[in-house]
Every structure is written in structure tokens, then in C-alpha cells.
């Protein structure tokens, strides 16, 4: 069973236990500090027998359940990186990326280096979560904005996207606050990648070449994002 196939098993559990988090921008509370994590392939699952992998999968999901029950984990799901390097995302409601590792100490996929968490500290300008169904998954789109060489300290500005209609704009808008390659991450309700690519292509920072945006499919538990 592939890493991605096993990751899909997380979605039903998250759907059953997720709670709504209002869009901070709309609530007037202002940006909210969070940590956005990409789960990247490390050494992979090769060489491990099926019984071990099934045990690790159960413990992996169990860790996610525990973090959600603590109010820390807000969103998780696999994505379609064409290079198959990035396997999924996790959003933690914590202020410091340095605090992220302790939330994975009970995750065997991380401890046995099947995957590794790459944590990005930043602010959630908007995060409109819905009430997920107990089963089912839903396809959306994720736009990951990376800096051009020499632009790693550049501040991303999601405000233009938040001015779009609820149907066209992102349900999740995260911007990095520390220097690094990834400067901004947006998750759109829309599943048609070309539609989201057209929206992103109109961004002045992308048109100037200051930022490069990759748009991939993103899967979440059905109903995880609030309807427009």
C-alpha cells in the first residue's frame, strides 16, 4: 500500500473529529499565528512488512486524533505533488515552528523516517472550516507560493485573494513570517486546477517573477472547508 493510499485513511477520522474554525479575517480578530506543515517523503516505506505498516498506520491516525482532541490539529490531507516529494499537509494551531516536532513524537511514520515534517511558521489570514461528514473525501486545490532566489525574506500579501468572492477566493490563506522558500499557501474550494491557476497567474508578484506558484490537487475530509 502506498504512502498516499495510507494517508487517505486519515481523512475519515479527521472528518469525524474536526471542529469549525471561523475565518479570522472575517471575524475581525486579525491574522492568527499557526504552523503549516508539509509532510515530505523521507526514506519511504520500502523494506517494512505489511503488518508493521498497518500497525504504524493505526498509530499515525491515533496521533492525529490525539492532537485534534487537544485542539492543536486543525486540518490535514494528501496532495498531488507531481514530483511525489510532498505527500500531505498538516495545520497546527501553535505559534512556533520549533514547537511542531513534539506533536509528532508518537507518529511512527516520522520516527521511522517514512516521512518528515517541514514546518513553516506564519499567520493564518483566513481559515474557514466547516463541519465535515463522518466519511468521504473532497478534492480542492492548493497554491504554494515560493520565493525567487534572493527573495526568501519577501513578505507575501494574501489580501488581494481575500477580496475575491467567497466562491473564487481561498478558504485558507497562510503567509510565512520567517525567511524561507515557501512564502504563502492558499487552499481553494475549487477543484479545477486551471481555474485556480488563472487566478494565481494574475497576482502581480507572480507576474513580476518575485514569487512562483505551484497549484496542485488537495484532498480533505468532505465538508472540512466551509461552503462559500
DSSP alpha helix (H) spans, the chain: 3-17, 24-27, 50-69, 108-111, 159-162, 193-201, 204-208
Q: What whole-number distance in Å separates Cα of residue 82 and Cα of residue 197?
A: 15
Residue 207 included in any domain? yes
Range of the domain at 96: 3-221
What is the distance of C-alpha 123 from the center of its chain?
13
The phi-psi region of residue 150 (left if phi > 0; otherwise alpha if psi is between -120 and 50; otherwise beta) is left
Instruction: Give 13: exposed, middle or buried? Use CB within 10 Å, 0-12, 13-18, 19+.
Output: middle
Indicate whether this model's pTM tops 0.85: yes
Residues β-bridged to residue 75: 91
pLDDT in tens, 108-150: 999 999 999 999 999 999 999 998 887 889 999 999 999 988 9
At residue 67, the pLDDT reads 93
DSSP, residue by residue, 129-184 = B----SS-EEEEEEEEEEEPTT-TTPPP-THHHHTS-TTTSEEEEEEE-SSSSEEE
Q: Is residue 15 very low, low, confident or very high in pLDDT (cuts 50, 70, 90)?
A: very low
Instruction: Identify the three-state secondary structure at position 48.
Output: coil
Number of domains composing the chain: 1
Instruction: Tell me if 228 is assigned to some domain.
Output: no
Residue 227 belongs to a domain: no
Task: List pLDDT tens digits, range 157-207.
Answer: 999 999 999 999 999 999 999 999 999 999 999 999 999 999 999 999 999
Q: What is the CATH number of the domain that holds 59?
A: 3.30.70.1060
Amino acid at each position: 500500500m502506498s504512502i498516499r493510499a495510507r494517508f487517505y485513511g486519515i481523512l475519515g477520522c479527521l472528518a469525524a473529529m474536526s471542529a469549525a474554525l471561523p475565518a479570522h479575517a472575517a471575524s475581525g480578530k486579525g491574522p492568527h499565528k499557526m504552523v503549516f506543515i508539509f509532510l515530505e517523503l523521507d526514506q519511504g516505506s520500502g523494506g517494512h512488512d505489511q503488518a508493521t505498516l498497518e500497525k504504524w498506520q493505526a498509530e499515525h491516525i491515533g496521533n492525529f486524533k490525539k492532537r485534534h482532541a487537544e485542539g492543536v490539529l486543525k486540518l490535514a490531507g494528501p496532495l498531488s505533488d507531481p514530483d511525489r516529494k510532498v505527500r500531505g499537509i498538516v495545520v497546527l494551531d501553535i505559534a512556533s515552528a520549533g514547537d511542531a516536532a513534539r506533536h509528532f513524537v508518537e507518529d511512527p511514520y516520522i520516527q521511522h523516517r517514512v516521512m518528515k515534517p517541514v514546518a513553516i511558521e506564519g499567520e493564518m489570514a483566513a481559515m474557514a472550516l466547516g463541519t465535515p461528514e463522518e466519511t468521504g473525501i473532497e478534492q480542492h486545490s492548493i497554491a504554494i507560493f515560493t520565493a525567487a532566489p534572493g527573495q526568501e525574506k519577501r513578505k507575501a500579501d494574501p489580501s488581494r485573494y481575500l477580496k475575491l468572492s467567497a466562491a473564487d477566493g481561498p478558504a485558507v490563506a497562510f503567509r510565512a513570517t520567517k525567511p524561507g522558500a515557501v512564502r504563502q499557501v492558499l487552499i481553494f474550494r475549487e477543484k479545477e486546477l486551471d481555474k485556480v491557476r488563472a487566478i494565481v497567474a494574475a497576482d502581480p508578484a507572480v507576474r513580476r517573477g518575485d514569487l512562483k506558484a505551484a497549484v496542485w490537487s488537495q484532498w480533505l475530509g468532505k465538508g472540512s472547508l466551509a461552503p462559500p
